[in-house]
Amino acid sequence: DAGVTQSPTHLIKTRGQQVTLRCSPISGHKSVSWYQQVLGQGPQFIFQYYEKEERGRGNFPDRFSARQFPNYSSELNVNALLLGDSALYLCASSSGLNFNEQFFGPGTRLTVL
């Protein structure tokens, strides 16, 4: 079975632009979470979606938004990019059942110039 997939792998944008990152969870998983990982730090929680509804939001500005589709894939959107948004954006999926196991994708490396 395929694991969590994310696209694109790398992305370079300039300040003020908008970006959309995509995630496909493990087959059968209904929960998707997004994390931001700045170089040298642990991942920071951005959003969690379960059954297409937002179930949690971290301490990020409104420039960050997300949604989950009927097939449980998800998109993370970031508007008005800042230099500080440069990071590895991670998607994690979970079945929504049985403990709290989350499985992470390879991430999308976003560079804002």
Partner 1 sequence: QQQVKQSPQSLIVQKGGISIINCAYENTAFDYFPWYQQFPGKGPALLIAIRPDVSEKKEGRFTISFNKSAKQFSLHIMDSQPGDSATYFCAATRPGTYKYIFGTGTRLKVLA
* Per-residue x/- track, 51-90, partner 1 (CB under 8 A): ----xx-x-----------------------------x-x
> Interacting stretch for partner 1, rule CB under 8 A, among 13-21, 43-51, 64-72, 77-85?
43-51
| CA-angle at 105, arms to 34 and 13, nearest 5° | 65
**Which stretches within the chain are classed as H helix?**
none
Burial (Cβ within 10 Å: 0-12, 13-18, ≥19) of residue 13: middle
What is the nearest approach in angstroms of partner 1 to the Cβ of residue 42? 3
Site residues for partner 1, 89-108, by CB under 8 A, read 90, 92, 94, 99-107
